[in-house]
Structure formats: C-alpha cells, structure tokens
Amino acid sequence: MSAPAPSASRDLLDRPLQFMKGVGPKRAELLERLLLKTVRDLLYFFPSAHKDRASVTPIDRLRLGQEANVRAQIVDMTSRRVAPGREIVIATLQDESGCIDGVWWNPYVADKLPPMAWAFFSGKITKNKRGLRELSNADFEILTSGEADDEEVAAASSAGPASPSFGRIVPIYSLRPKQRRPDGTEPPEVRLSQAFIRRLVWRALEDGAAAGLKDDLPEGLRKGRELLALPEAVRRYHFPESSAEVEQARRRLAFEELFVLSLGVALRREEVAKHEAARRLPLTPAIQQRIDARLPFQLTPAQARAFREIAADLEGARPMNRLLQGDVGCGKTAVALSAMLLAVAHGAQAVLLAPTEVLAEQHLRTFSKLLEGSRVRIGILRGGAAAAERRAFLAELEAGAIHIAVGTHALLEPDIRFKDLALAVVDEQHKFGVEQRRTLRAKGKAPHVLVMTATPIPRSLSLTLYGDLDLSIIDALPPGRGEVVTKLVKEADRAKVYKLIISEARAGHSSYVVLPRIEGDGVAAAEASDTKKPTSKKAPKGLWSEVKGVEEEVKRLREHLPTLRILDLHGRMPSEDKDRILRMLREGKADVLVSTQVIEVGIDLPSATVMLIENAERFGLSSLHQLRGRIGRGGLKGWCLVFGAPTTDGGKDRLKAFASTNDGFQIAEADFRLRGPGQFFGTEQSGLPELTVADLLRDQRLLQEARDDAFALVRQDPELVAAPHAALKRRVGEVFLKDERLGRVDVG
Ligand code: ADP
Ligand code: MG
C-alpha cells in the first residue's frame, strides 16, 4: 500500500512549499522569488545542468585541476588564521589509497566535520603555496558518525547513500530569479543552497508527488515517439541514474514544449484555411506578358521560381499565406510587384506595407516609374498626411480608384477600407508582428497574403515563428552585383578611410556614414535618441562615453572634409525632409549621407559604394548585414568599413562573424547562436514563447518530429474538441495568450 492514490498525490502537488519539512517562512519567501510556491512548481523547476558525482576517485589518483569526488575519513582537523579576521579550516582526508588536505575558507565548516567520520567530498583539486595539492571548498556530506565500527563504514561505503547530492548524477539548479528588476538589471542569485533545493525536490519525489502529474500528451503519440511518461520523465530529469536517462528525460520534456508550440502554429495555419474562399487570380499568358513588359529586366531563375509559386497560390481558392525569404538585394520587390500586378489585372486591389516612411516612399517611386503610362494607379498614405490629403486617399481607396496602396503602419488603422483587396504584401516582415498580418487580412474578403523578409532565418525559427506560412526562397542575387569588401578598421586608419570616401566621391559615387544615435554623448537629451540610453545614471565610462551621434558627426565631417557635400538623415525628420535628402543623393547632388539605422531597411541607391559604420559594437549582427546590403547595388565594387570597440566577448565575436562572411544565412545562424532565439529579432517581437527545456538550435530534429505530430493531430481534429485533446488545447491557449506578440491563437 505504499503507492499513494492518484488523488492524494494530486493534493500533494498543490501543497504550499512552506509546509514541507525544512522550509520555514524565510526560505518559503526565498523560494517564491524563484516563482516556487507549490510542490508542482518545484517539480517543474528543472535543473539547468547535471553534475556527475557518481564515480569516486581514489586520493592517490587525483589530478590537479580536476573536479573530483572523494570518499574519505576525516582523520585530523585544524583551523588557522591567515589574515586578521580570516580563518581557514584544514582537514586531513584519508582513504585506502592516501591522504589529501581539504581546505575551506569558512570557519563554520569546522563544526560540521566530526573527527573520524567518513564523508563524501566534491570539489576542485588545486595547489597551495607550498606546491601541495589540496581539495578546496568542497561540498560534502557526512556518511557515518565518528564512532562508526567497520561494519557500518563498509555498509555506508558500498551501498552508496540514498542522497540527493552525492554518489550519483546530481542536478544543478539556476538560482537566479527570471524577473528583471525595475531598472532592468539582473537580480542576484537567491541565497538558497543547491543542496537545499535538491533535498526538497528529492523529498517531494519520495512522497510520490510526481505520480499526480497528468500527462497531456496523447498516449498513442507518446508511444509512437518512444517518449517517457511524464511522471517518470520528471523524476529522472531531476535525479537520473545515468547520463542516458538525462537525455531520455530531457527529450520527453523538450518534445512536449515543442509540440505545444507547434500545435499553436498548426492551429493558426488552420485558422487561415478556414477563412471563406479567396478570390481566384489565375495567371494567363496575356497577363504574364503585360507584367513582363513593365519590368526593366528579366526575373532571375530564383525570382521566377518564387513568382511561379506565388501565382499558383493566387490561382487557388485557399487564401495564400506565404513567406518570401531572400537575402538583402535579391530582388524581392520585383516579385511582389509582379504579384500585385496580377491582382490588379483581375480588377482587384493590392496593398504593400513597409516598416518605414522612407521605404514606403522608395517603393512608391520605383513602382511609379515602372508603371508610367499604364492605367494602374498607385497611392501612398503618409504617416504625417494632412487631414484633407488623408481623406482623399481614403475615398479613392474605398472607391477602388487606387489599385495599389503603399504605406506604413498607418494603413492598418480601422478607418482604412478597400473596395476589393485581394492581395496584401508585407515588406520586411520581421519588423511587424503576427497581429498586424491578421489586421491586414481583415481588410479584404479573404485576401491573399505575402510576407517578405530579408532576414534569413535558421530553419528551426522558420518552423516556429513562421511555421504557419508556406515558404518561397530566392537564393541567388541578380546579375551585376558588385563585390563588397568588409573591413574592421582601427582609429589609426581613419585618414585612409576618409581618403577613400573622397576618391569615391570624385568618381561620382556616394558613401553612407551610419551612427547608432541622432545625438552623441556630448548632448544631454537622452530621450531624443533613436536607440535607448541605459537607464542607470552611472553607466560605465568607455562603454557609453564615446557613442557618436549624427548631429555632431555631420558638423565634424563638414569641417574635416570641406570639399564634400554632406547631408544627414534620421528617423525624427519630417518625411518631406527625408524625401528631399534622398532625392538629392539619387540625383548626385550629395556625396555623403550621415544617418542612423533608419537606412538599414530597403534603401536602394545604385551609386552607393562605401558604408562606414561607427560604434559598430552597438549594432546587432543582422542590422550590420542589412546596412552592408545597401552598397554594391549598381554593380560597383563596395567597401563596408567598420569602426568598433567591443567591450564584451559577445561583441567581439559578433564583429568577427560579420567580417568573415557576406552570406546572409551564415550571418543569421551566427546571430542566432550568439544572442539566442529570444533576442534574435530584438526583444520587442521575438515572437517566441519561452522554452525551458527545449533548445531550438540543438533540438531541430525533435522540433520536426513534434511539428509533424502536431500538424497530424490538427488535421485529424482541427478544433481539438476530442476529450483527450482538451488539456492540450488549454495549454496552447496559455502559451499563446501569455504573450500577445505571438498573436492570439483561436482556441475557442
Ligand atoms: P530586396 O530583395 O533586398 O528587397 P530589391 O528588390 O530592392 O532587393 O532589389 C535590389 C536591386 O536589384 C534593385 O535595384 C532592383 O532593381 C535590382 N533587381 C531586382 N531584380 C533584378 C533582376 N532580375 N535583374 C537585374 N536587377 C534586378
Ligand atoms: Mg526590399
């Protein structure tokens, strides 16, 4: 009758930790900082790593630097004062093979080491001043009392203790609270010991708490993938008997996380498929001919393939839901325009959403030029449009007089209505969220949706973030792309860099100089910058004191390079000013454009050959790559020159990775590796739920399996209404509702 009844163990799960043995109000409060309130929380508090304390090394075989486990008797002990107020404890530890000193920089340890007792020790082998090896600041657990007879000692040593901390693979828990402090800094570790948490988990498991955990994975699916039952997986993940068990347990727990995530993705995809039928837009030879006549070049094979895939979707009754992915400069715009012209040829409307005004204006200009003399009408909605202008735009759009609408977020507002929207294109999708896609969708009767991104993403991310989209890839650049050389340059080379800018200007080419902010540190107004300054007032010197700003840099460069025509551009300018400046540059009336990151997205200026980036350590890897993509567009050789003083290893690795490859996909993989999936797209729209066990880089295979199973389940039960799926449906709701950037998933 030892196994508790399921209901009893379920009650156990809800028990507050405060009432467990060894937990008083004070420790309960510390546990709460780790969000641990009940026994259930504790079971789900998974180790961040494991340490092998299973095998013991005989003392005579200990090596310097080794993390060693020793089983020994405490045969002698002394304390010594090494400095005023500093006392160390030295114990002589002896096993069958020899002796070693155990040293602790903590006088209180003395009381816990009974003379002649046997104990487990786990710590690092170091060398003392006299060159002798010692075991320093080891964790330990007493096995026998000091008076134990031979028989007791033998028993304690051979059977191995039933101990959470020794003689086995032991769990290591992260004791740092997840919530950041109000000022954004990381909180310190909670002052609880690993041994304490281990004992607590151990006790909960011994009480049979895990048996009460309900398994949400359908049994058939679990068996099919050979996954452990949940209670077993939880038990083994905390206290595995072997490293194979760690992996088994981890695989099961990670699978569940990825499965719930993939279910959300599958449901979102289903949601689109459930929409009413889309308008069919077949590509006839006549329409194809009209489109071809408008483009000044032939689509590359890669572009043509993408367009064929899109056209096949547009012909169907199921609304298109497709991602067009391709490196900077691969020519996504031409493909998007072709698709929009196809919609317009059928008498319908299309819309193109861009993340910035500058980019929207550029698209307008490109399209206007290509469509000169045709009957296709393009309209733009500017963010700062005057009321009358806006009203006129709305009226024309609603009447169907505008065939292709271009604009920014402003197009998402509720009063923007179309007569007959059949195709919505989102440029630079990574700057938008899932919700915005949904809003666009609601502006027509089941419109087709094409989203584009120049940020190539690792496969694991495309399966999750964009997992509900079909994928088209443009994997080659159009002909006539110039070679771009990337160089990390030193301050000493500054004169050479400016010489290059001057000689390029003489050849009629232009240069970009990009800075992290509008105003540098010389100017007080912190809130006036494009990127945020640290909130803390005592920012470390060197890190913040030399960040350059556009305003000072323009002045400095004009003094320094008096023969050049230098302009500046940044996000806070009125859009007429931005327009005027870009026009001057295009018309060859300026040589250098000093700007913030606003030019990162999409700017297409064929004469630009130099991209000079200041304070590059302050830019993300993908931003740097986007910036580099702005040059070498007109078939001219380009230089991407990077000044940067990275203060962290991560920063150094980032710049090194940037200089080492020009391949967007490799850049993305490196970025993903260096920053982790959460920050891959910048914290604002990472769009990923938190994964505690699964690791998107490491678990790509598992993700594919979880995704296959999730999609199969949704095909079989599209609303997850069958009783065994109820719990899963709730879980999906929790994950996808917790973070609204993910977008709501309709779980009824
Ligand atoms: P992105 O994919 O980064 O948005 P763009 O659409 O801005 O790239 O295209 C980059 C440049 O390549 C533009 O100047 C465009 O005119 C040119 N381009 C696109 N397709 C072709 C092609 N098939 N042949 C020649 N040039 C092309
Ligand atoms: Mg583009």
Q: What is the pLDDT of residues 572-617, one digit of tens each?
A: 888 778 888 888 888 889 999 999 887 766 677 889 999 999 999 8
Eight-class DSSP state of 534: P
State residue 9's pLDDT score: 66
Ligand 1: distance of its center to the CA of 451 in Å? 17
- What is the tens place of the pLDDT at every residue in 258-315? 999 899 888 888 876 676 788 999 999 999 999 999 999 999 999 999 999 999 999 9
Q: How does DSSP classify residue 38? A: B
**622 backbone φψ class: left, alpha, beta (φ>0; ψ -120 to 50):** alpha
Do 555 and 578 touch, CB atoms closer than 8 A? no
Are residues 684 and 740 in contact, defined by beta-carbon separation less than 8 angstroms?
no
Nearest CA to ligand 1 atom 3: 329
Distance, in Å, from the CA atom of 295 to the CA atom of 305, rounded to the nearest integer, reads 16
At residue 20, φ and ψ (nearest 5 deg) are -80, 155
Pocket-forming residues, ligand 1, beta carbon under 6 Å: 297-300, 303, 326, 328-334, 454, 478, 602, 604, 633
Which of 304, 369, 293 has the alpha carbon at shortest distance from 331? 304
Fold (topology level) of 484-526+542-682:
Rossmann fold (3.40.50)
Is the pTM value of this prediction over 0.75?
no
Report which ligand 1 atom has the smallest distance to the Cα of 330.
2
Tell me the CA–centroid distance for residue 473 and ligand 2, in Å: 14
User: Cβ(144)–Cβ(114) under 8 Å?
Assistant: no
Task: Give the contacts of 313 (CB within 8 A, at least 6 positions apart).
Answer: 320, 322, 448, 470
Under CATH, domain 55-160 is a member of which superfamily? Nucleic acid-binding proteins (2.40.50.140)
Pair 122, 100: CB distance under 8 Å: no
Among 330, 453, 475, residue to substitute to test ligand 1 (most atoms within 8 Å of Cβ) = 330
Q: Which atom of ligand 1 is nearest to the CA of 297?
A: 24
Q: Report how far ligand 2's centroid is from the alpha carbon of 508 (Å).
A: 24
Query: Are both 285-474 and 484-526+542-682 of the same fold?
Result: yes
- Counting ligands in written order, the one closest to the CA of 431 is 2
Q: How far is the CA of 402 from the centre of ligand 2 (A)?
A: 22
The residue whose CA has the least distance to atom 25 of ligand 1 is 478
- 423 pLDDT exceeds 90? yes
Contact present, 530 and 518 (Cβ < 8 Å): yes
pLDDT for 619 equals 86
pLDDT for res 157: 60
Give strand pairing partners of 77: 91
Between CA 449 and CA 324 the distance in angstroms is: 11
- pLDDT per residue as tens digits for the range 328-365: 788 999 999 999 999 999 999 999 999 888 889 889 99
Specify the ligand 1 atom closest to the Cα of 336: 6
CA nearest to 582, candidates 365, 429, 747, 404: 365
Please report which ligand is nearest the Cα atom of 354: 2
User: What share of the chain has pLDDT > 90, as a percent?
Assistant: 49
With the most atoms of ligand 1 within 8 angstroms of its CB, the residue from 450, 453, 604, 626 to mutate is 604
Q: Quick one: which atom of ligand 1 is closest to the CA of 299?
A: 23
Domain ranges of the chain: 1-53+170-212, 55-160, 285-474, 484-526+542-682
Q: Are 118 and 148 in contact (CB under 8 A)?
A: yes
**Ligand 1, atom 9: nearest CA belongs to which residue?**
331
Q: How far is the centre of ligand 2, averaged over its atoms, from the C-alpha of 333 (Å)?
A: 6
Give dist(CA 293, CA 297) in Å, integer.
9
The three-class DSSP label of residue 111 is: helix
**pLDDT band, very low/low/confident/very high, at 525 (cuts 50, 70, 90):** very low
Q: What is the DSSP letter of 235?
A: H
CATH number assigned to the domain with residue range 285-474, chosen from the 4 options 3.30.420.10, 3.30.1490.20, 2.20.28.10, 3.40.50.300: 3.40.50.300
